[in-house]
Amino acid sequence: MDERAEKMLHENPFLNNMELAYKLIFEDIILGKFQNGERMQQERLSLMYGMSRTPVREALMKLETEGYIKKDDRVGYKVSNVDIIDYIDFWEFRKNLESHIAYLAATNISIQQLMKLSRNLEKTKKMGNSGNSLEVFRCDEEFHKLVVESSGNKYFIDVYNLYEAKIRYYRYLFQQKVNASMIYDAHSKIYKALESRSEDAAKRAMYQHMNAFMRHLRDKLR
């Protein structure tokens, strides 16, 4: 069995084989071990991870629904190519959505939720200093989710949840192109605005964060 699989099972012994296969393949895609357009053969992956074909096949089906891979009738699956136009359009949508969510959160966030955000920032800084970019992006995912939940508006929460898989897709796909300090600094500004209950400052901080992130990635992808 893959050493990472043993570590994952140690951290969460309740993972089933499909979930384990999914985590392994997902990490290898976002870490660049599989390139855009590369074939994803069940037999090869089964041997690579020391698992049977059934959980690997189920994991590939889940990854397809999330957009990380695409079905190809000739070869099975291929790693998805990035659609830059779709990325830009989607990020524009997300930027405006989450900016207003931050505006609402400044009024509705609880002390307990602020404490969770504070702990998240501490972990983000720690993981960034250790060079663990994957954990930094997991912290980023948690931070934005906490802000959304803090808005207290079930319709905005539902919309965010509807697009969460796509948000996750782009976040992790580009994780090697963004430095941790950029994320930590932006999140700190958002946190301070929420802590001070300043609606306009929270909205502005989130908008600037999303805008800077989009510009940074566009420059990196040129």
- 51-107 confidence digits (pLDDT tens): 999 999 999 999 998 888 998 877 789 988 777 788 888 989 999 999 999 999 999
User: Which position has the higher pLDDT, 173 or 165?
Assistant: 165
- 132-145 confidence digits (pLDDT tens): 877 888 899 999 99
Strands annotated E in 14-118? 39-40, 69-72, 76-79
pLDDT given at position 176: 58
User: Which position has the higher pLDDT, 220 or 172?
Assistant: 172
If phi > 0 it is left, if psi is from -120 to 50 it is alpha, else beta; for residue 178 that is beta
Long-range CB contact pairs, 90-95, < 8 A, 24+: 90/163, 90/166, 90/170, 91/170, 91/210, 91/213, 91/214, 92/214, 94/163, 94/167, 94/210, 95/207, 95/210, 95/211, 95/214
pLDDT given at position 105: 98
- 4-56 confidence digits (pLDDT tens): 888 888 888 888 999 999 989 988 887 778 888 889 989 999 999 989 999 99
Question: What interhelical angle do 164-173 and 133-150 show, nearest 10?
Answer: 150
Residues 89/55, Cβ–Cβ less than 8 Å: no
pTM score of the predicted model: 0.74
The pLDDT of 203-218, averaged and rounded, is 86
Domains and CATH numbers, the chain: 3-79 (1.10.10.10), 84-221 (1.20.120.530)
Residues 135/116, Cβ–Cβ less than 8 Å: no
Structure tokens given for 42: 């069940």
